[in-house]
Structure 1
Amino acid sequence: MSLLDTIGSMFGNSPQGGGSQQALVASALEFINNQPGGLNGLVQRFHENGAGDIISSWIGTGENKAISPDTLQNVLGSETVTNIAAKAGVEPEQVTGLLSQVLPHVVNAATPNGEVPADGKVEPSSVSGAMGALSALSGLFGNKNA
């Protein structure tokens, strides 16, 4: 089972949108890896938009600082958020809400020794340990079996 399958199963594959959340995570990983510099490029983007201390905490070995959806919207920009939302089939407000919870865990798991990989790429295998922390996110989308 792939990382994305695992994440998708955490959100449930209900008709209410479990597939959308899987698509959102896939889009987020694709976004990180496809921007110039990969994770290094994302780090630079955070620094350029006044949130360098936040992403640095995710890379470091200490406690991860939280990021608000509004701050994440500012860092990524409306066009990026809209593009990720379109690929995932969800509203932009959902994108920033979910990514504000997911990105700290993904970046932290991808940098276990406090260093960004030389190529800046986030490998799915490097973030598989973050799955337990991400499982709590299923409640954000109100997935119910009833």
Structure 2
Amino acid sequence: MANERMTEIVERYERATYMINRRLSSKVKEGLPNDITPEQLFILRYLKRNNDVSSSELADLLCVGKSTITSVISRMVNKGYVVRTPSQEDRRVVYLSLTEEGDRQHSRIEETIYHIIEPYISKIGEAKAFEYIAVLEHISEVLMMDLE
């Protein structure tokens, strides 16, 4: 019996997350500047909220190889959004941070995303939105444990 319930849960989860990701991601992507990829958006957000971030840390978070993240970061450096700073303690370590232009781009994008997503969230109400987000955050934590 539990197997049938779990099957239902998995099917409903897949269906709901597929529709949310497909439709909302599409709307968000349409609202982004043409030169910003979803990975670059994640990096802008992550660098805005964290200090002393390395390429390896980003590669792990995005589940991509180091060569892939190096390529993405290089494009962001060329656009003037990110700067690489060698560690004072270990020259092999390079930290990434946002430039002023990266910070401005981040602010513009965040405002755009807010205006895209807010109408949907307001329709379900704050209480349900917080419940939903809490569940997503918990799933995210469980997934992150797999990386450790």
Provide the TM-score with structure 2 as the length reference.
Answer: 0.31
Provide the TM-score with structure 1 as the length reference.
Answer: 0.31
Q: Larger radius of gyration, structure 1 or 2?
A: 2
More strand by share: 2
**Which structure carries more relative contact order (alpha carbon 8 Å, separation 6+)?**
1
